[in-house]
Amino acid sequence: MNISIAAEPIFHIGSFPVTNTILVTLVLSSIIIIASAILKSRISLVPRGFQNVVESVLEALLNLVDSVTQDRRQSKKFFPLVATIFIFVIFSNWVEVVPGLGTIGIREELHGKSVLVPFLRSGSADLNMTLALAIVSVMAAQILGIAAIGFGKYAGKFFVSPFRPPYFVGTFVGVLEIISEVAKLISFSFRLFGNIFAGEVLLMVMLFLVPYFVPLPFLFLELFVGFVQALVFSMLTLVFLKMATTEAAH
Amino acid sequence: MSELITKLGIDYKLLIAQIVNFLVLLFILYKFAYGPILAMLEKRQKKIEQGLKDAEAAGKKLAESEERQKEILRKARTEAKEIVEKAHMQAEKSKSKIAGVAKVQAEKIITDAKAEIEREKTKTISEIKSEIGSLVVAATEKVIGGKMDEEKDKELIEKSLKS
């Protein structure tokens, strides 16, 4: 049993390491894109089957976004990012319960030891992926914030003159705001990574200890955790977007 | 710091690849999934709202027309009743009128007939009278057996007539 915090490269294209997570992420993205293309070609006013499922999920998400923004127009602006994060993260998380994860792979010599490099690794169990999402989310908050209230006012949240009341307190709060933007990146990426990586390790350990039936409850637990983490990630993004687009009240 | 980053497996190439991948996914879903689906949801919502409104309006209209129908029926019934009553009255009136006219006519006919009878009677009586006179002359002639003179004859007739 080999547990590696970093995703393992399966092969290299030039100097670009193709890791198992990026492979899974690409496959997942293509599946989502193909599904959406099929859905688009079959979309009809009277929904049936797959369209029903997608619509109910999206409508629930839209209502959730509405409940945060209290404004349909703003909801529509935030919705694509929030929904994409939710869909992408939940499927990345659920990859970890796919059978064969962490067990099917190729043996490679690493540091003089023969270790198994699995083909499948949940996208969320790789810091590159979670950090990428966190960067997108935080950057989107900055961009939408500037677009919504203007560059000057948005910058005013972070850079406060120490010569106006509340003087240095305001300046200090502005510095804290900058730090908190960076902290968001870290908390976003490590929360998701930690949860899913831990879940993956847990499932693997369980599978090695008792191969039959005992891992089942953990599979359900991981499904639930995956859902919750996807919801948390998208909801936090939504809240940060909302916060960035509202003017600071002084 | 850089050691920590390599230990955690963070690689800027992979990071950029993941960001690009996510942005592509976001763009494609934005173009192909959210737009059409949200538009469809809105369209359906509008359609359902319109349908409900239409149904309500139709129901209201139906009730209204039913009410109007009832009203019309009621009106027609009372009107018919009135007409029948009027006709009855008219008939009664004309009946009595006709009866009166008939009565008058009948009385006239009766009086006419009576007058005619009276006239006929007097005529007959006078005829009978003259007839009887000549008859009596003939009979007396036969009885007396001979002609009397004109003077005597007349005297006798008048005498007998008077008695």
User: Residue B139 — φ and ψ, nearest 5°?
Assistant: -65, -45
Task: Give the pLDDT score at A215.
Answer: 78
Residue A169 lies inside a defined structural domain of this protein: yes
Interchain pair B37, A5: CB under 8 A? no
Nearest CB among A19, A43, A80 relative to B29 is that of A80
User: Residue A14 — φ and ψ, nearest 5°?
Assistant: 60, -120
Q: Flag whether residue B19 sits within 8 Å of chain A, measured between CB atoms.
A: yes
Which residue's entry shows tokens 């018919």?
Answer: B80
Domain count for chain A, please give it. Answer: 1
CA–CA dist B33, B50 (Å, integer): 25
Q: Flag whether residue B162 sits within 8 Å of chain A, measured between CB atoms.
A: no
Residue A2 lies inside a defined structural domain of this protein: no
pLDDT digits (tens, 9 = 90+) for A5-29: 777 777 777 777 778 788 888 888 8
pTM for the model? 0.69
Task: Give the pLDDT score at B101.
Answer: 93
Interchain pair A5, B9: CB under 8 A? yes
The mean of the pLDDT values for chain B is 87
- Cβ B21 vs Cβ A24: under 8 Å: no
- Cβ contacts of B91-100, under 8 Å, gap ≥ 24: none
Q: Output the CA angle B97-B99-B100, nearest 5 degrees.
A: 65
Closest by alpha carbon to A58, among A38, A34, A40, A82?
Answer: A82
Nearest CB among B13, B30, B40 relative to A43 is that of B40
Task: Give the pLDDT score at A113.
Answer: 66
pLDDT digits (tens, 9 = 90+) for B57-70: 999 999 999 999 99
Tokens standing for residue B97: 């009128």
Residue A124 lies inside a defined structural domain of this protein: yes
Residue A75 lies inside a defined structural domain of this protein: yes
Interface test with chain A among B18, B31, B45, B47, by most A beta carbons within 10 Å: B18
CA–CA dist B81, B74 (Å, integer): 11
Give the residue extent of every domain in chain B.
2-162
**DSSP letter, residue B31:** I
Instruction: Kindly report whether the peptide bond that precedes residue A17 is cis, defined as omega within 30 degrees of 0.
Output: no
Q: Is the dihedral of CA B151, B156, B161, B162 positive or negative?
A: positive
- Cβ B137 vs Cβ B157: under 8 Å: yes
Query: Which range marks the domain in which residue A23 is found?
Result: 9-245
Q: Flag whether residue B38 sits within 8 Å of chain A, measured between CB atoms.
A: yes
pLDDT digits (tens, 9 = 90+) for A133-142: 888 888 888 8
pLDDT at A213 over 70: yes
ipTM exceeds 0.90: no
